[in-house]
Amino acid sequence: MALDFSLTEEQIELQKLARRFAREQVAPVAREYDEKEEVPWLLVEKLYEIGLLNVSIPEENGGLGLGLVEEVIIGEELGWADMGFYTIPMASELGITPVLIAGNAEQKERFLRPLTEKPALAAFALSEPGNGSDAAALKTRAERVGDHYVLNGTKMWISNAAEAEWTVVFATFDPELRHKGVVALVVERDRDGVSFNKIHGKMGQRAAPTHEMVLEDVKVPLENRLGEEGEGFKIAMLTLDKTRIPVAAGSVGVARRALEEAAKYAKEREAFGRPIIDFQAIQFKLADMMIGLETARMYTYYAAWLADRGDPRHIYASAIAKAYASEIAFDAANEAIQIHGGYGYVSDFPVEKLLRDVKLNQIYEGTNEIQRVIVARHIKKNIP
């Protein structure tokens, strides 16, 4: 009898709040921020006011201490309204997670509490211009000098970076050691030698700020190191094992939006004397969208539930959820455009933006190819 798909009363209220906020505050301005390629700080502030920003910060550090199931609830709603906007709070949780995983009590208090006292963001910097999927091949150097590290190098594709209070930077103190030579350092935005270049011309998710982060002789004190020297790579992977679940949740939101927009249009649009929803070619597309949506949502909740329980199966489950949800969402957005015909290809309707936005969900926080590597690793190790 233990199997139970219901949400708690509090989770239902949370869902209602997030849904209302997404519908009333985010969706109406999504197109505008996308066109202007501008960070919607006003929305970030509003999100903070209703308590939906940085929700994973523990109660003892001034936060709400919510789990991934709650993040998934929020993620679907915000992803429905604007995946680009949702990436901002999502990437902030990505920055917070390594502190939760490897930070000591003093570090948690020092780095996390300020993020609960005002609308503020965190960030996570692993990728570099020359490495993405091969994360252990990073070149950013962290040279130990007395009681601090000196950082030199460039980080690439960093969500929130210039907008964030601090960024968890992964660097190597010995490239020969590959993943065993990585250290995780919290780098505050205002440290000398830190600079950012905003990346322009993104296909989608244009409300979300993405930066190149340049580190030139940046002195970072030892007390900003998360975990031990050499544990950085492990910390990064443990983080991503969890944080790709909200990517799946945002994808579910995009898929739901695509289905809703396509169904609405198919009921209104007439061809050959009747609404196009009466044609089987359209019905099958819509049915496939719903099959993808329902299965992706269920599996995303399952992955979040495993992660919240500390069940190690969440490692492959989160990879499956992320790859699957982002793929069905991309397909849903693509078919929603097809159902809209020419109207789907222009910005008067929201569906072309869904496609542009959700393409990134197949790439960031580990490409879907890397997710399959994670699943295959599990198969090799554990399936006889």
Partner 1 sequence: MKYVAIIRQVPDGEAKLREEGGRIDLSGATMILDQMDEYAVEEAIQLKEQHGGEAVIVAFGPERTKEAIRTALAMGADRAVFVKHEGDADPVTEAKALAKVLAEEAPTAVFTGGQQADWDSYALGPAVAEALGWPVVAWTTAFELLGEDRAKAKHDLDEGAQVVEVALPAVFTTQQGLNEPRYPTLPGIMKAKKKEIKEIPAEELGVTGTKVEILGQTIVQIERKQKILDGTKEPEKAAEELIRLLHEEAKVI
Q: Which residues bind partner 1 (CB under 8 A)?
A: 9-10, 13-14, 16-17, 20-21, 49-52, 55, 64
Nearer to partner 1, 70 or 231 (CB): 70
Q: Give the torsion through C-alpha atoms of 209, 215, 221, 225, to 10 deg.
A: 60
- Residue showing tokens 């930077």: 169
Please report, in angstroms and rounded to a whole number, the separation of the first and last CA atoms in the chain.
30
Catalytic position from the list 38, 268, 365, 369:
365
Active site residue 365: yes
Nearer to partner 1, 264 or 377 (CB): 264
In angstroms, rounded to a whole number, what is the distance separating the alpha carbons of residues 200 and 202?
6
Nearer to partner 1, 47 or 336 (CB): 47
Nearer to partner 1, 12 or 291 (CB): 12
Nearer to partner 1, 36 or 264 (CB): 264
Burial of 145 (0-12, 13-18, 19+ CB in 10 A): exposed
**In 227-258, which positions are buried (b, 16+ CB within 10 angstroms) versus exposed (e)?**
bebbbbbbbbbbbbbbbbbbbbbbbbbbbbbb
Nearer to partner 1, 37 or 260 (CB): 260
Closest separation in Å from C-beta 69 to partner 1: 14
Nearer to partner 1, 49 or 223 (CB): 49
Residues with catalytic function: 365
